[in-house]
A and B are shown apart, each in its own frame.
Chain A
C-alpha cells in the first residue's frame, strides 16, 4: 500500500464547476501536509499548506482530518488555467516529502 493515495483521475469538468480531490495517508506520525500543483513537463510548485482548522486561498480550500488520515482540496469556479496535476504531499518528519501519484484535472470551455 502506498503511503499517500490519490485517485489519479482524470477529472474532466467544465469551466465554473466545483471539483474536490481527496487523499489518504498511512503514516499517523506525519507532521505536515500540502497540496502541490504540477503542470505538464514542469516542476511541482506549492499550492497550499493544509491544516486541521482548514485553510482557504481564494477559490481553493484545503482540509485535514487527522483522525481519518484524510486530506482534501476543493476548487470553486474552475478556470481553464486550473488544468494540471494536483499532488497530495505529506511530510513524515526531517524534511522528507512523500508524494501521492497526483490527480489530473482537465477544465474545458
Chain B
C-alpha cells in the first residue's frame, strides 16, 4: 500500500521567501508529525496533530513556522521569511492512532530537502 508521501522532494528558496511543504499521510492514520533533520543530526520534533487538532507545537523553532491539517488528512508546513538556518530535511510521519498515550509506530515519508540561499 501507499506510504507517507511528501512534496516537493527538493526546494531551493532565496532568503526571505515563504515556502509550503506538503505531507500526505497513510490513509486512515489519525496522528501526523513533523520533524526537522539538520545535516549530521537526528530528526527533531516540530509539531503533532491528532486528526485536525494540533496537540503539540512545542518544537516549532519560531513564529515563522506554521503547520495545519484542516481536514485531518493532508498537512502543510509553512515557513515564512526563510533564513539560512532553516536549511534542513523536513520529515513527516504518521501513525494509526495516538489516543490514550499508547505508542503506535510512526511511518516516515521521504522528506523535503530545503535549501535556503
A contact residues, total (Cβ < 8 Å):
22
Q: Which residues of A contact B25 (CB under 8 A)?
A: none
Q: Are B110 and A95 in contact (CB-based, < 8 A)?
A: no
Among residues 84 to 102 in chain B, which have CB atoms less than 8 Å away from a CB atom of chain A? 91, 95, 98, 101
Q: Are B109 and A94 in contact (CB-based, < 8 A)?
A: no
Q: Identify the interface centre among A8, A31, A32, A95: most chain B CB within 10 Å of its CB.
A: A95
B contact residues, total (Cβ < 8 Å):
24
Query: A98-B45, A99-B43 in contact; A43/B91 too (CB < 8 A)?
Result: yes
Q: Are A95 and B103 in contact (CB-based, < 8 A)?
A: yes
A93 proximal to B (CB < 8 A): yes
> How distant is the Cα of A97 from the Cα of B41 in the complex, in angstroms?
14
B117 proximal to A (CB < 8 A): no
Q: Are A96 and B42 in contact (CB-based, < 8 A)?
A: no
Query: A45-B108, A46-B105 in contact; A95/B98 too (CB < 8 A)?
Result: yes
B1 proximal to A (CB < 8 A): no
Q: Are B43 and A94 in contact (CB-based, < 8 A)?
A: no
Known: A32-B103, A44-B43, A44-B91. 8 other contacts (CB 8 A): A42-B110, A89-B42, A93-B101, A94-B55, A95-B31, A95-B95, A95-B101, A97-B43
- Enumerate chain B interface residues (CB-CB to A < 8 A): 31, 33, 35, 40-45, 48, 55-56, 91, 95, 98, 101, 103-106, 108-111
9 A-B pairs with C-beta separation under 8 A: A31-B101, A44-B43, A94-B98, A95-B56, A95-B103, A96-B45, A99-B42, A99-B43, A99-B44
